[in-house]
Structure 1
Amino acid sequence: MTVDEILAQFESLGDDARRKHNRKAGAPDDQFGVKLGDLRAIAKKIKTDHELALRLWETGNVEAQLLATLIIKPRSLSADQLDELTRSATCSQVADWLNSYVVAEHPEKESLRQKWMKAKDRWSARAGWHFTASRVNKGGGGLDLPALLDRIEREMPKAAPEVQWTMNNTLAAIGIHHPEYRERAVAVGERIGLYRDWPVSKGCTPPYVPVWVAAMVERQG
């Protein structure tokens, strides 16, 4: 399939309600409103096509970038290429798929994480905190957790919303998996108050750290 053929297919699958939902979630206007399940079905047919994935990404279209993350070869990317892709994500959904399906499979993800933890670019910083939260969830070996708490307390209130989300995930991970820092993590969450009034469906846990940590610790027994 060519890029033009795929974009034409996206147009035929576009849905007004989905477009409105995407815009509300921060997606730019360059999107068709294709359901994620339809994107996965297209990817299943294509399987892997690295060059096509790169061309799709370059369009700047939301669905094209999402599809690219599903058909690209992560290990065929240099660290510099992956850094460039990360910085050129169009929205949070794209950034999260890139992190989950591409960066997570790359052999240099840890060196990139360290680089991104110093970045001012919102998508790089979001990725850096995403993979830091992942490391905390897996035990946090080699990480300076008190220093991370200091940074979160100092930086999260003024961080870009896209970065706040994964910083908050890191804060919650520290509170959930590291009892020795739980009290401080919860106190930081209370003081900052991020997502305190976040609406959630019945039975779901809100991302407000004090509630999130308490719920997860209770489940752990």
Structure 2
Amino acid sequence: MNLEMVMQELEALGKERLKKMYVSNGAREPLFGVATGDMKPLFKKIKINQPLADQLYATGNYDAMYFAGIIADPKAMTEADFERWMERAYFYMLSDFVVAVTLAEADIAQEVADKWIASGEELRMSAGWSCYCWLLGSRPDSEFSESKLAKMLEMAEQTIHESPERTKSAMNNFIYTVGVSYLPLHDKAVKTAKAVGPVEIKRDKKKSSILQASDSIQKAVDKGQLGFKRKHVRC
């Protein structure tokens, strides 16, 4: 299938209700409003196709960009490719759920995520922290440096309340994910979460939401989810 055919298929799957919901979360035209589950049959037809993924991502159409993440070949993507994708990620559903997710399946994931966390730019930082969440929730504990993650927990504790809104949310999720999915630092993550306390996320035209990593970790403990790892990062 070529770009034009995929775009026609995506357009046919679009729903006005979902389009409005995506726009309320920050998406902008062009977009069709395709449910992510409805993309699976299309993925089965196309499978992994990096050249097509790049073409789809370059359209700027939100649904096409999301689908690009599903058919991308992360191991074939270079740091420059991820930077190019990040440049076009104009809101958190692209930065954290397309770019960060795709990066999490690449061998260069940690080094790219580290640069983004240090960038000082809201969505790059958010994608970097989110990438670690996807990594920690899917890869063996042995693939991570305990001392590095401990320093990241300390950094999150010291800077979370002054960070940009989307970065705050991703940092909070990082503390939670370390607490649940990385057993060597469970206790430290619990202490960090308690020290951080409630995190207020302000949103345009919507009321603020309050995140509390310590409560979320405790709920996971109560459900017996400590050490949780998913088989696949992408759907």
TM-score by length of 2: 0.76
> For residue 215 of structure 1, what is the amino acid of its counterpart?
K
Following the alignment from structure 1 to structure 2, what is the Cα–Cα distance between the partners of residues 147 and 168? 15
Structure 2 distance, partners of 1:65, 1:9, is 14
Q: How many residues in Structure 1 have an aligned counterpart in Structure 2? A: 212
Hey, what's the Cα distance between the residues in 2 that align with 1:136 and 1:76?
A: 22
Once the two structures are superposed, residues 10-50 of structure 1 have per-residue CA deviations (whole angstroms, 9 ceiling, x without a partner) of 33322111111111222223211112122222222122322
Identical positions, percent: 20
Unpaired runs of 5+ in structure 2? 203-207, 227-235
The 1-side partners of 2:119 and 2:25 are apart by 23
2:212 paired residue among 200, 208, 214: 208
Give the TM-score normalised by structure 1.
0.80
Kept after mapping to 1: 8 A contact 2:74/2:106: yes
Is 2:4 the partner of 1:9?
no
Mapped to 2, the partners of 1:46 and 1:174 lie a distance apart of 35
What is the match of residue 153 of structure 2?
149
Which deviates more from structure 2 when the two are superposed, residues 66-75 or residues 144-153?
A: 144-153
- Where relative contact order (Cα < 8 A, 6+ residues apart) is larger, the structure is 2
Residue 100 (structure 2) aligns with: 99
Task: Find the aligned partners of 1:79 and 1:57 in 2 and give their Cα distance.
Answer: 16
Residues 82 and 99, structure 2, Cα contact 8 Å, conserved in 1: no
**Within 2, Cα distance between the matches of 1:87 and 1:166?**
18
Pairing partner for 1:190 from 197, 200, 204: 197
Name whichever structure is richer in strand by fraction: 2
1:159 to 142, 157, 163: 163
Q: Which residue of 1 aligns with 2:114?
A: 114
Which whole-Å CA distance do the structure 1 matches of 2:135 and 2:47 have between them?
Answer: 30
Shift, 1:120, TM fit: 2.3
Distance across 1 between alignment mates of 2:4 and 2:15: 19
* Matched-pair contact (CA < 8 Å) for 2:153–2:189: no
**Structure 2 match to 1:37:** 37
- The amino acid across from 1:28 in the alignment is R
Structure 1: tracts of 5 or more residues without a match: 200-206
2:11–2:32 Cα contact (<8 Å) kept: yes
Structure 2 residue aligned with 1:202: none
**Equivalent pair of 2:123/2:167 in contact (CA under 8 Å):** yes
